Amino acid sequence: MSNQNDVDKATLDASDIRDSVISQELRDSFMKAYAKSQQGELEDQLGDNVMILCENLVKIYKTKETEVLALQGLELKVERGEFVAIIGSSGSGKSTFLNMIGGLDRPSAGKLYVDGKDLFKMTESQLVDYKKNTVGFVWQNNARNLFPYLTALQNVELPIRFGDNKDVEKRALDLLNLVGMAHKKDSKLNQMSGGEQQRIAIAIALANQPKLLLADEPTGSVDQRTSDALLDVFRKLNTELGITIVIVTHDINLAKKVKRVVMMRDGKTSSERIIKQEYADPSLLKGFVEEETHDEFAILDRAGRVQIPREMLDAIGVKGNRIRLVLEDDKIIVSNGEDNGEEEEPSGKQEKFRRKNKA
C-alpha cells in the first residue's frame, strides 16, 4: 500500500529533505534575524565572523560533598556558518559545554561570547531572550522538546506563538516541510518513529529563527540510516539557511561526515580534525577511509600547552613525562626525551632561538 511506503520513506530516506523547497518567507525570516545580529556590542572586538568564542572556560559543579571540574579551561572558536561536531568519551564535559553555550547553565570562570554577546554579563531576562531568539536546542531524548499527545503541527506551533511571528500555522507548516515532515502534520508524536520525532524536534528548535543550533547526541537513539537522514537535515539548514551548527555526538560515523570535528577530553578541547577540501562534498564521502579525509590538529591553549594523543607518544616510545622539542625551519619536532643519543645538528632557527634565550 502506498501509504505504508510513505511512512518508510519518511523514516529512512533523506532525498525528500534534500529536495524539499524552502519557502521564501522562511528564508526571509532567517535573513532578517541575521541582519539584526550584526549589531552585537562586542562585534568589533571579536570580529564579525565569530559565532562562539570561549577562552579558558571553567565549570565547577559543587555539591555538599564534592566538587566536579566538568570544564577545565576549554578553548574554542566557531565562525558564523560553520558546522562543527564535538566528540569525546562519556563524562568528558560535552553536555556541560553545550549547556553553557545554550544559556541553560552558567559557567564558573573564563570567557564565553556567543553572537557578539558576553554570556557572563547577561542578566536573567537577557538570558531568557537569548534562549528564545539566538539559540535552538535539540536533545537526544526528545521528550524534553515534545508533547506526545499533540500533533506534529501543534507541537511546532507552540514555540512560534511565543515569538513575534504572525502567521503561526503557515510558519509551522514551512518548518515541517523543511524537515521533510509536512505529510505527517496531523500525526500525534507518540505515533512516530524516533527519527521522525527528532525531525519534529529540529523544526521546533527553529521556530524563532535561531542563528545557532545546538544538538546534544541527536542521533543517540536512532539507527544508522535514520542518523544519516538527520545529518542531511542539519546539513541543509547549514548550507541553505546559513545556521551555525554544533552537534555533540559519539556516533563516529556521523562525525566522519562533518567538516570540522573537535575532540574533548577531561573538560578540554584536545584535538581537531578538518575534512580535506576534496572530501567536502558529501557525495564523495561514501565508503572513504577516515585517515585519508581529515587533517588532524591539536589544540594549543592560552598557556601554550598541547595535548598529544597517547597513541602518537607510544609510537615514538615515550614512557615518562619528558619529551624533546627541536625547532627546525617552520616546524617544531617532538621526540622522545629519554633518548640520550647523539644530539642532532641544530638548524639555523633552533640555533637563533637558543642564542636569543641565553641572552
Nearer to Mg ion, 173 or 255 (CB): 255
Q: How far is the CB of 64 from ligand ADP (least distance, A)?
A: 11
> From the list 95, 133, 165, 269, which residue makes contact with ligand ADP (rule: CB under 6 A)?
95
Nearer to ligand ADP, 63 or 123 (CB): 63
Q: How many CB atoms lie within 10 A of CB 284?
A: 11
Please tell me whether residue 140 binds ligand ADP under the rule CB under 6 A: no
Q: How many CB atoms lie within 10 A of CB 290?
A: 11
Kindly give the pairing relationship between strand 83-87 and strand 244-248: parallel
**CA separation for the pair 272, 295 (Å, rounded):** 8
**CA separation for the pair 85, 101 (Å, rounded):** 14
Q: How far is the CB of 248 from Mg ion (least distance, A)?
A: 6
- Using the structure block, give the residue that is written with the C-alpha cell 505515533: 191
Please tell me whether residue 94 binds ligand ADP under the rule CB under 6 A: yes
Please tell me whether residue 252 binds ligand ADP under the rule CB under 6 A: no
Number of residues this chain uses to bind ligand ADP (CB under 6 A)? 11
Which region among 89-97, 223-231, 300-308, 330-338 touches ligand ADP (by CB under 6 A)? 89-97
Nearer to ligand ADP, 59 or 117 (CB): 59
Please tell me whether residue 249 binds ligand ADP under the rule CB under 6 A: no
Please tell me whether residue 88 binds ligand ADP under the rule CB under 6 A: yes
Pick the closest to residue 74 from 268, 330, 275 (CA basis).
Answer: 268
> From the list 24, 90, 123, 277, which residue makes contact with ligand ADP (rule: CB under 6 A)?
90
Q: How far is the CB of 272 from ligand ADP (least distance, A)?
A: 17
Q: How far is the CB of 109 from ligand ADP (least distance, A)?
A: 15
Nearer to ligand ADP, 93 or 110 (CB): 93
Nearer to ligand ADP, 99 or 350 (CB): 99
Task: Dump the DSSP string for 77-107.
Answer: EEETT-EEEEE--TTSSHHHHHHHHTTSS--
**CA separation for the pair 17, 20 (Å, rounded):** 5
Segment 57-86, which members bind ligand ADP (CB under 6 A)?
A: 61, 68, 70
> From the list 95, 134, 219, 238, which residue makes contact with Mg ion (rule: CB under 5 A)?
95
**CA separation for the pair 202, 235 (Å, rounded):** 12
Element (H, E) at 189: none
**CA separation for the pair 151, 31 (Å, rounded):** 29
Helix (H, G, I), strand (E, B) or coil at 289: coil
Kindly give the pairing relationship between strand 294-298 and strand 135-138: unpaired
> From the list 93, 102, 159, 195, which residue makes contact with ligand ADP (rule: CB under 6 A)?
93
Which region among 44-52, 88-96, 228-236, 275-283 touches ligand ADP (by CB under 6 A)? 88-96
**CA separation for the pair 93, 57 (Å, rounded):** 11
- Name the site residues for ligand ADP (rule: CB under 6 A): 61, 68, 70, 88, 90-96
